[in-house]
Amino acid sequence: MITKRFHIILVIAVVLYLIIIIKMLKERVTILKYTLLWLLTGVVLLVFAIFPKTLKVLAGFFGIYADANFLFISLIVFLMLITFSLTHIVSRQNENNKRLVQELAIMDKRVRQIEKSLEEKDHK
Amino acid sequence: MRRLIIIPAYNEQNNILSVIRNIQSFCQGYDFLVVNDCSKDRTVQVLVENSIPFLDLKVNLGIGGAVQAGYKYALENGYDVAIQIDGDGQHDVSFLDELVAPIEEGISDISIGSRYINKEGFQSSVLRRAGITFLSILIKIVTGNRIYDVTSGFRAINRKMIECFVNDYPQDYPEPESLVTAYKHGATIQEIPVIMRERQGGISSINARRSAYYMTKVSLAILLASMRKRKMI
């Protein structure tokens, strides 16, 4: 069972959480594309907070004795999703970064070559 | 045939010049290109002062990223053969012609300078040899082909493999894994006996602390590469 006290704390915490995330999105501190999972987590938590009954039903469905335990497990799952998506993003950024550095190096050599041949032309 | 020697260099201010001088005096008909992997020492200045052609990576990519940049350059500039030589003086350039011969004769796509065919010269420590044997057997299991010196960075590849490695080359510890990738693309690989020297300066990228990480990472990479779809070119 979720106590009255925890219910109130949960609602306040989730609302604060959502306000902070939306504020950061509004000010473009974070990009929506990479914040979607955080928003989804917030919305699900909000449903749990406002209607604790859903927690009870879902906990029962998954065969979990205590509502709070189901809340913990769902939070862990969301955190794992978010961290894994970060690994995915970092991997892609790494690939892009590598390609850029390599292309830049090849371009840089070409520029040096052109500058040198121009210099030689000037001397003639 | 146009041949390019690619020399990845990280903090090689003391060795790079002698490597280049060796190439210039012993190797006719080869172009060369140093790839400076964001060295923290005076490597770039040495290269500029001696007007040695080089690519300058502005961010450290690791040896695989550096060599791959060299392959990209080779592809864009129409080279037929790309040779990789370490920037630390371990590899004896007098073996270059022997290394490149099977490529130019069209016998193989990749030619590896191997310490373990005639077992001459610097053989590395017992522990390292054990690690290399393990990786060699692992590659034999997943590809059916036995290569003895799987970590050798002294190798030559043809145009077909340049195109392959431009698209798919591991960023760190690339040597063993890239062999599996090459086999997946239907490459023929041959080992040529060479004599290697002990590195003349600088520090190996693989120290004792990192060996466990190296073995785990490379073994997993080999298994993953063997699981990827076969792409024939």
List the helix and strand counts (H, then E) for chain B: 8, 7
Is the dihedral angle over the CA atoms A46, A50, A54, A59 positive or is it negative?
A: positive
- Reported confidence tier of residue B206, pLDDT bands at 50, 70, 90: low
Q: Which residues of B fall within a CB distance of 8 Å from A106? A: 55, 69, 72-73, 76
Q: Which residues of B fall within a CB distance of 8 Å from A109? A: 53-56, 73
In whole angstroms, how far apart are CA B114 and each of B16, B24, B119, B144, B151?
Answer: 22, 23, 9, 19, 9
pLDDT digits (tens, 9 = 90+) for B92-140: 899 999 999 999 999 999 999 999 988 888 887 888 899 999 999 999 9
Q: How many CB atoms lie within 10 A of CB B26?
A: 14
Out of A98, A108, A109, whose CB is closest to B61?
Answer: A98
ipTM value of the model? Answer: 0.89
Q: Which residue of chain B is at minimal alpha-carbon distance from A111?
A: B55
Q: Which residues of B fall within a CB distance of 8 Å from A115? A: none
Chain A contact for B63 (CB, 8 A cutoff): no
Token pair of B123 as six digits: 């053989």
The number of angstroms, rounded, from the C-alpha of B213 to the middle of its chain's C-alpha atoms is 20
pLDDT digits (tens, 9 = 90+) for A61-84: 999 999 889 999 999 999 999 999
Tell me whether residues B69 and A97 touch, CB distance under 8 A: no
Question: Rounded to two decimals, what is the model's pTM?
Answer: 0.88
Tell me whether residues A98 and B56 touch, CB distance under 8 A: no
